[in-house]
Amino acid sequence: MQLSAYQVNGVWQQPTHAEIIDFLTAYAREAQPVDVAVVAPHPDDAEIAMGATISILVRQGLKVAIVDLTNGEPTPAGTVETRLAEAKAAGEILGIDLRVTMDLPNRYLEDTVENRIKVAEVLRLIRPRILFAPYWVDAHPDHRAAAALVEAARFYAKLSKTTMSGVRHYPARIFHFSSNHYRLHLEPSFVFDCTGGMDAKLAALAAYNTQFNTDERQFSEVRAAIESYGRYWGRLIRRPFGEPFFSREVIGIESIHSIL
């Protein structure tokens, strides 16, 4: 797995946007475009919402990137250095090809033109075919902002006659995942049978020790909640576990055999 974060004297460093663009420019010269990019507000959101799906997609031969819009700090028990190390460990467990930690501000994430350009530049350099972003209804302001920001950046990424880094690119599809702070009855566009990826998901989440194993919260509680949520969605598709996804657009299928 390749990382935008780097170490100095053994300490993980948050890269600036300019450093991220330099890193991804070199990555784009050496690597083929990724198949899937999961863009999340904070490290651990991708794993919470769709970690099992990510693991399965990787095992199916797809190149997957996770783009964390922020490093997630400050939090009560974390530091920038520990969060970057935890994100690295989680990504390695899931088997992803690339993890980018952007320098946008945690707690104050906004859908601004400047931020759209930053995210669009990342998309133009990694060129995903399928894009995943947060669900657009959420109590967490960062999650709502991320949904709008990623949708706008997807559009900006295809613009011509621009000074943005990378080449024009428009991800063919965008789906939304739910790592939600509301208690909602959601109606997904589809549920992914993620049964085979649950062990990897739980292992990846366990890597976030500063978030899920603290005085306020034990990982056993998190594990129970994640498993219960996964079983609920799995039951709806007659599988042990499932993860829900949402689309503003109609989804087409080529074969009736792909329906569970």
Residue 259 pLDDT class (50, 70, 90 cuts): confident
pLDDT for the residue numbered 158: 98
pLDDT in tens, 25-47: 999 999 999 999 999 999 999 99
pTM tops 0.95, yes or no: yes
Q: What is the pLDDT of residue 217?
A: 80
Calpha distance 158→236 (Å, rounded): 37
* CB neighbour burial string for 111-144, b if at least 16 within 10 angstroms, e if fewer: beeebbbbbbbbbbbbbbebbbbbbeebebebbb
Structural domains of the chain ordered from first start: 2-7+15-250 (3.40.50.10320)
Is the pLDDT confidence value at 215 over 90?
no
State residue 216's pLDDT score: 73
